[in-house]
Every structure is written in C-alpha cells, then in structure tokens.
Amino acid sequence: MKEQLIELIADLKLDEAEVLAEDLIKSGIEAQVLYDLVMEGLAKIGKKYENGECYIADLIVSGMIAKSIFAHANFDQDENTGKNPIGTVLFGTIYDDIHDIGKDLMVDALRNKGIHVIDLGVDVKVDKFVEAVKVHQPDIIAVSCVMTNSIPYLQDLGIALETEGLLKNRRLLLGGAVVNQDYIKIPQIDFMTNNFYEGIQYCEIYLKGKRECSSDE
C-alpha cells in the first residue's frame, strides 16, 4: 500500500491517492512515514517535469494532492519545529500574486524538517518583506511567484534587500511557475526552482551547513 501511494501521487491520481492515504491514516501509519511517502511521490513527479514528461500544471496538482493528504493527517507542525530549529525561513508570495498552494506545501514541508518558518502569506509588498527581514533576521528569504506580471516586484525586492544590506549571511530563494532562467534576471537571487522538492533540499542543506559552520567557530 505504501509503494502504491507513491505511484498514485506520481501519476497525479488525486482521488485514489487521497483514499489510500486516508486508509493508511486510519490503520495507524506514523506521521513521519506518511510524510516521507508523499515527498517521495513529489520527487518522482518533479523528475518527470525535469525530463519534459509533464507540465507546471501537473506540479501544481501534485502539490494539491500533498496538501490534502497533510490536512487529513493533521500534522502538528509546532511539535516538529521544537525549541531548537535548525534555522529560520521567511516565506511569502510576492505582491500582485495570490497563489498559495506551492508556498503552503513548502511551509509545511520545511516545518516538518525542523525548520522555523515565518509565513507572510500572499500578495506581499516589497516593503513588508524588507521590514519582516529586519524584524525576524531569517537565514533564508523564500519568495513564491506564479504570475509573470509580478516579476517587476521581484526585481524591486532584490534591489531593496541589497540596498538595505539585508542579504549578508543569508540566501534569497525564488520558487514557483514563473521561474525561467531565460527571462528571470535578478542578480540578488541565490537559487531558483519550480520544483518544491528541490527547494526543500536546498534549504535543509544550506541551514545544516550554516549551523555546522557556526558551531565550529
């Protein structure tokens, strides 16, 4: 049944995946085991996208499947962050964009990894991002964007953060359907991906590395 769930997610079979996940939850599957199965399914659909076997819309659907399963499982994210998180990520969808599926999925996944996440929500203006960075001093600033009309605000954000000196010793990430190396030219961005599994891996690796460096000093 567990392997079947991975395949159902990878094949974008929404209803069947939700039913099987519900059965697994009722049978007493551990939250972490279920989470790992869902993430493995997302990784498979991510590889399909990289190989040109599916589209951005398919990634969005897979995110919807994962979000629904996580909701059914009723994961207690607060327990996962604990008193000693490995780092802090400030997350928000840029101004003039109200898409939240990818962002919310990333937020849940990062918290499950023991990372403290500050979620600014959607339609976040540049000045709100800047102020939040000053207040919370995150290790990573993660910005989601689906709409191409919001690209100028991404550019403004990069300039504002650099001007304020807020990019020192932290990373700026961009994720979402808008990501395209051909027309996204924002020098302040350290990493871009429209594959949330890659985004999670990047954050986890960076934060663990940063913590290790700090402990060695």
pLDDT, tens digit (0-9, with 9 covering 90-100), for 39-94 = 888 888 888 887 889 887 887 788 888 888 887 776 544 444 456 889 999 999 99
Rg for the chain (alpha carbons), in Å? 17
pLDDT of residue 2: 81
Please tell me the least confidently modeled range out of 128-142, 173-187, 194-208. 173-187
SS3 52: coil
Q: Domain 2-75: which topology?
A: 1.10.1240
Encode burial over 67-95: b for 16+ CB neighbours within 10 A, e otherwise: bebbeebebeeeebbeeebbbbbbbbbbb
**Residue of 2, 11, 12, 58 lying closest to 33 (CA atoms):** 2
pLDDT in tens, 147-199: 889 999 999 999 999 999 999 999 999 998 788 766 688 999 999 988 777 89
pLDDT of residue 174: 95
Domain boundaries, the chain: 2-75, 82-216
Question: What residues are paired with 143 via a beta bridge?
Answer: 92, 174
> Could you tell me the sign of the dihedral formed by the alpha carbons of 148, 149, 152, 154, in that order?
negative
pLDDT of residue 80: 46
pLDDT of residue 81: 47
Q: Do domains 2-75 and 82-216 have the same CATH topology?
A: no
Helices (H), ranges, 113-177: 126-136, 151-163
pLDDT of residue 187: 94
Q: Which residue has the higher pLDDT, 112 or 95?
A: 95
pLDDT of residue 78: 46
The whole-angstrom separation of Cα 102 and Cα 7 is 20
pLDDT of residue 97: 93
Please say whether the structural domain 82-216 has been given the CATH code 3.40.50.720.
no
